[in-house]
Structure 1
Amino acid sequence: MARRRPRTLLAMAPGLRSRLLDDAATRRLREVADVEPEFVLDDYAGPGAAAALAQAEILLTCWGAPAVDARTLAAAPRLRAVVHAAGSVKQIVTDACWERGIVVSSAARANSLPVAEYTVAMVLLSNKNVLRLREDYRAARGRRPDRHQGHGHIGNYRRRVGIVGASRIGRRVIELLAPYDLELVLYDPYMNTEQAACLGARGVGLDELCRTCDVVSLHAPELPETRAMIDRRRLALMRDGATLINTARGSLVDGSALTAELTSGRLNAVIDVTEPEVLPADSPLYDLPNVLLTPHIAGSLGNELHRMADSAIEEIARYGAGLPFAHAVRREDLHRTA
């Protein structure tokens, strides 16, 4: 099959290219695309942008890329595809792109893998009550605390784990947890109990999931209908000592209600995303012993960015060979995806 090397333009945050594309990826990109990897746009009106856009057939984007709006499209008459080397395309691909027939690909699947792996690690550590046992050890400095007294309920044998959202990440978490002696339950408004069972989980309502699970892990998209879906009432349903894991979006949880529950010590939490994205300096969540607070690290980090780059480059190779994208994004699916 004949292969073309489509003219490709990079667009992303300054300094990101060198972290996204290692030497091997850069060589592969040059093989499949007519590209200048050192030339990267973060502003479609910046120096050299007009000439580059006029020739581009593909935009290879990542975090920090500007939105491809009607003005940008007018400056890019040859543009036919946007290949996003990251997850959600909602901040980049506008209605003007769909109306022009631009085809879109995303590395959301590649980015979902480290999130799922991180979540699985946190589920297992949460059921072992690691945060509280760490505090016991700190308090017992110089001697071993009693690891059994008062901790008979901890462990990963027959614990119930609730997955909220059968997204790519949610499905992968269920798959990775399958070998463990856990009971997996799933809430997703687009799935019935038979479909949930096919994934390896028991389908339940969200209230039942919150009320009966030892760990509740969020994997739903950020949509108007998911905003504060874990509200004060549902947090109150959670059993004493349960853990909430949020690697999805901060907006899914009522932040003030969660802070109140965590400050009381009744619940535990693993929080990788918040609203606002960076909490104010006086937030108690930074210091609570029952909270693991991290700065949005569950997704691709360090060498995991190379997986997203490889995925995007293979999509460009497919495009050049006249094949459809393996990870195409469809406009009609955006209303229920991240």
Structure 2
Amino acid sequence: MPRTKTVAALAMDERAAEAVLKPATRLRFGEVVDLAEPVLSDFTTQAARRVLPEVELLITGWGCPPLDAAVLARAPELRAVVHTAGSVRGHLTPACWARGIEVSTAAAANAVPVAEYTLAMILLANKQVLPAARAYRQQRAREDWLFPDPTLGNYRRTVGVLSASLVGRRVIALLRAHDLRVLLYDPYVAEAEAAALGAAKAELAEVFAASDVVSVHTPLLPATRGLVSAELLALLRDGGTLINTARGAVVDQAALTEEVRGGRLRAVLDVTEPEVLPPDHPLWECENALITPHLAGSQGNELDRLAESALQEVRRWSAGEGFAHAVPPDGKELLA
């Protein structure tokens, strides 16, 4: 009896599959495609050799092994990949693009919680909530109910955003609800487009010199490694804050560490270089640094958003409508 549905398989770490694609969600996928078992976390196993020859669609996630030429040779029917996370750099190889495999990613869905985290950290930074709470806890008292310090507060502060990426654009959109001035550095965005987003286009040095908070949303490329240099950090005003939810290597971490340890700057780092920092790294003990364990992206029930995004992409592709969140070959490197 001929098949009436596309043959699909899950390819990712088994823990990722359990977290992102819960049983009820897999049943919904099964309404659209024939979902083969088991989850493929290793393409060299006997199970993988059994599944790959028939699979037309791979639903990938964190921990997916590389789809190199040898794997593709065992998957002659493979035509599309739907990724349940953001970047596809870790598992899609040049062989995939050369074969013309269609690719979709949940990067737009994953950008939502990253932008929300960033907004929260911007508002907390300008309000100086974390240092104030720390001092309050230590003193168990306050001198006054009024805090007239002109460096405290979110009214008409300036926020610098590095890169109009998916996350960067969403951050700018969220900031529009607040009395904040937004500067955008992105060499590929014109002034009119920046204005339409809700920001003023600015050069890199201007962003750092004029901002109270700078938020990094730049993908890690050879050209952006160390982009946030010691010279740029020196331009950031005293008491300013650097937020990084992109990639640790975009920032000169040694220079940032010196600025933060010296007390001149504050930092909110959801990513570092490396991840995790060595146990004796001075940033761990620095009161001016808030380090979180790469949790700005989808966690907990936010993972369900990734699954829903992937499911809708599978529905579209199976219906011949094409992907809503397709990754073109020339754009694959821009997903951080």
Counterpart Cα distance in 2 of 1:237 and 1:97: 43
> Is the 8 Å Cα contact of residues 88 and 332 (structure 2) preserved in structure 1?
no
**Residue 220 of structure 2 corresponds to which residue in structure 1?**
222
Extract unaligned runs of 5+ from structure 1: none
**Residue 5 of structure 1 corresponds to which residue in structure 2?**
5
> Is the 8 Å Cα contact of residues 174 and 184 (structure 1) preserved in structure 2?
yes
% identity of equivalent residues: 52
Does residue 206 (structure 1) correspond to residue 204 (structure 2)? The answer is yes
Distance 1:212 1:10, change over 3 A: same
**Residue 293 of structure 1 corresponds to which residue in structure 2?**
291
> Is the 8 Å Cα contact of residues 8 and 35 (structure 1) preserved in structure 2?
yes
Counterpart Cα distance in 1 of 2:175 and 2:223: 28
1:270: Cα distance to partner?
0.5
Alignment of 1:267-278 (within 5 A): 267-278=265-276
Alignment of 1:15-94 (within 5 A): 15-36=15-36, 39-94=38-93
Counterpart Cα distance in 1 of 2:25 and 2:67: 25
Counterpart Cα distance in 1 of 2:332 and 2:315: 25
1:152: Cα distance to partner?
3.1
1:22: Cα distance to partner?
2.4
**Residue 111 of structure 2 corresponds to which residue in structure 1?**
112
Extract unaligned runs of 5+ from structure 2: none
**Residue 180 of structure 1 corresponds to which residue in structure 2?**
178
Counterpart Cα distance in 2 of 1:308 and 1:6: 21
**Residue 125 of structure 2 corresponds to which residue in structure 1?**
126
Distance 1:227 1:148, change over 3 A: farther
1:239-298 C-alpha deviation (Å, 9 max, x unpaired):
000000000000110011111011001000100000101100001211211111001000
Secondary structure of 1:324's partner?
A: coil
1:13-32 C-alpha deviation (Å, 9 max, x unpaired):
13221111124312211111
Distance 1:109 1:4, change over 3 A: farther
Counterpart Cα distance in 2 of 1:61 and 1:152: 50
Counterpart Cα distance in 1 of 2:28 and 2:236: 49
1:146: Cα distance to partner?
3.7
4+ aligned runs moved over 6 Å, structure 1: none
Secondary structure of 1:66's partner?
A: coil
Secondary structure of 2:294's partner?
A: coil
> Is the 8 Å Cα contact of residues 269 and 291 (structure 1) preserved in structure 2?
yes
Counterpart Cα distance in 1 of 2:255 and 2:319: 52
Counterpart Cα distance in 1 of 2:257 and 2:242: 12
- Letter in structure 2 aligned against 1:7: V
Secondary structure of 1:16's partner?
A: helix
> Is the 8 Å Cα contact of residues 4 and 321 (structure 1) preserved in structure 2?
no
Counterpart Cα distance in 1 of 2:236 and 2:249: 19
Counterpart Cα distance in 2 of 1:241 and 1:175: 25
1:195: Cα distance to partner?
1.4
Counterpart Cα distance in 2 of 1:39 and 1:336: 32
**Residue 305 of structure 1 corresponds to which residue in structure 2?**
303
1:217: Cα distance to partner?
0.2
1:317: Cα distance to partner?
1.1
Alignment of 1:226-265 (within 5 A): 226-265=224-263
1:200-220 C-alpha deviation (Å, 9 max, x unpaired):
100000101001100000011
1:332: Cα distance to partner?
1.3
Counterpart Cα distance in 2 of 1:145 and 1:17: 53
> Is the 8 Å Cα contact of residues 137 and 145 (structure 1) preserved in structure 2?
no
Distance 1:322 1:132, change over 3 A: same
> Is the 8 Å Cα contact of residues 60 and 82 (structure 2) preserved in structure 1?
yes
> Is the 8 Å Cα contact of residues 131 and 289 (structure 1) preserved in structure 2?
no
- Normalising by structure 2, report the TM-score: 0.96
- Letter in structure 1 aligned against 2:22: D
Counterpart Cα distance in 2 of 1:61 and 1:293: 29
Distance 1:227 1:4, change over 3 A: farther
- Letter in structure 1 aligned against 2:98: E
**Between 158-167 and 313-322, the greater mean CA deviation after superposition:** 313-322
Corresponding residue to 2:319 among 318, 321, 327? 321
1:49-69 C-alpha deviation (Å, 9 max, x unpaired):
101101100010000001111
1:139: Cα distance to partner?
2.3
1:138: Cα distance to partner?
2.0
Alignment root-mean-square deviation, CA: 1.4
> Is the 8 Å Cα contact of residues 86 and 335 (structure 2) preserved in structure 1?
no
Secondary structure of 2:317's partner?
A: helix
Equivalences, count: 334
Counterpart Cα distance in 2 of 1:316 and 1:229: 37
Secondary structure of 1:34's partner?
A: strand
Counterpart Cα distance in 2 of 1:92 and 1:104: 12
**Residue 94 of structure 2 corresponds to which residue in structure 1?**
95
